[in-house]
Amino acid sequence: MARIENRIRRLRFDAGEMTQKDLAERVGVTRQTLLAIENGKYAPTLELAFRIARTFGVGIDDVFTFHDE
Amino acid sequence: MPVGEREALTGLITMLIVVVLATFRLFDQHASGAFDGPDALQVWARSILILIGVSIAIAIAVSVLAHILEAVLTGERPDDRRDERDHLIERRALSWAWYLLSFGILAVIVDLAFGSSAFRALNLMLALCAGAELVKDGVKLILYRRGS
C-alpha cells in the first residue's frame, strides 16, 4: 500500500513556528485540510503540494516522501 | 468546522425532521382514507409538494441556526471557503448516494414488474430519495470526522 509522509510540521516550526492557520491561508485551503495533510490522512493534489513547498522555499521532495510498500 | 461538514450535519438534521413529518402526514392521510379514491395519486402528489416546500423552509432555518451556533461557540465567523478536500468528499459521498439510488430504482422496477401498485412504487421512490440524501450526508460526516 502506498503511503505519503510529509515534513510540514517540521518546516512550519523552522519557519518561525508558523501556525497551521497561517499556512492554510497562504496556500488557499482550510485549516482542517492542512491538519488532515499533516496527519497523513489526506494526500493533496500536485498543485497544492507545490504551493506548500513554494511557501517554505523548498522543493516538493523536501516536503513529501512517497513510500510504496 | 469545514463548511461541508456543517452542511452534512444540517442536512442530516433537516432530513430526519422531514422524514418524521412525511411519515406522520402520509400515514395519517392513509388512515383517513385520503388515498382510497380514484384521485389518490393527485392527493399524494399535492401532499409531497407541500412537504417539499416545508422541507426547504426547515433546511433554511436549520442552516441559519447552525451558522449562528457555530459563530457563538467558536467566537469566530464561520469559514465558508471550500477547497479540494471538500470537493473530493462531496464526490465520494455523492457516488455512495448514487449507488443506493440506482440499485433502489432497479429494485422498485422489479417490484412493479411482479405486480406491485404504482402508488407503492412512488412511495418507495420517495423513501429512496430520502435514504440517498441521508447516506450522502452520513458518508460526508464520516469522511470529515475520519480526517480523510
How does pLDDT run across B2-44, given as a tens digit for each residue? 788 889 999 999 999 999 999 999 889 889 988 888 888 899 9
Report if residue A63 sits inside a domain.
Answer: no
Q: Quote the number of domains for chain A.
A: 1
Give the whole-number percent of chain A exceeding pLDDT 70.
100
The answer to whether residues B47 and B25 touch, using CB atoms and an 8 Å cutoff, is yes
Please tell me which of the candidates B79, B81, B148 has its beta carbon nearest to residue A41. Answer: B148
Report if residue A17 sits inside a domain.
Answer: yes
Report if residue A69 sits inside a domain.
Answer: no
Report if residue A67 sits inside a domain.
Answer: no
Report if residue A64 sits inside a domain.
Answer: no
**Interface contact B148-A30, CB threshold 8 A:** no
Give the mean model confidence (pLDDT) for residues A40-47: 91
Q: Per-residue pLDDT for B93 more than 90?
A: yes
What's residue B86's pLDDT?
93
Give the mean model confidence (pLDDT) for residues B101-118: 94
Domain that holds residue A52: 6-58
The sign of the torsion formed by the CA atoms of A7, A12, B89, B8 equals positive
The answer to whether residues B85 and A33 touch, using CB atoms and an 8 Å cutoff, is yes
Q: Per-residue pLDDT for B90 more than 90?
A: yes
From the number of C-beta atoms within 10 Å of its C-beta (0-12, 13-18, 19+), residue B51 rates as middle
Nearest to B143 by CA among B85, B98, B99, B95: B85
**Interface contact B85-A28, CB threshold 8 A:** no
- Of A19-23, A42-46, B2-6, least confident by mean pLDDT is B2-6
Q: What is the DSSP letter of B147?
A: T
Q: Per-residue pLDDT for A50 more than 90?
A: yes
**Interface contact B147-A39, CB threshold 8 A:** yes
Nearest to B21 by CA among B64, B45, B53: B53
Smallest Cα distance from B44 to chain A, Å: 44
Report if residue A54 sits inside a domain.
Answer: yes
What is the three-state SS of A3-60?
Answer: EEEECHHHHHHHCCCCCHHHHHHHHCCCHHHHHHHHCCCCCCCHHHHHHHHHHHCCCH
Report if residue A65 sits inside a domain.
Answer: no
How does pLDDT run across B46-79, given as a tens digit for each residue? 999 999 999 999 999 999 999 899 888 888 777 7
- Of A39-43, B74-78, B135-139, least confident by mean pLDDT is B74-78
- SS3 state of residue B38: coil
Q: What is the DSSP letter of B78?
A: -
Residue appearing with cell numbers 402528489:
B45
Q: Predicted ipTM? A: 0.82
What's residue B148's pLDDT?
63
Domain harbouring A14, CATH code: 1.10.260.40
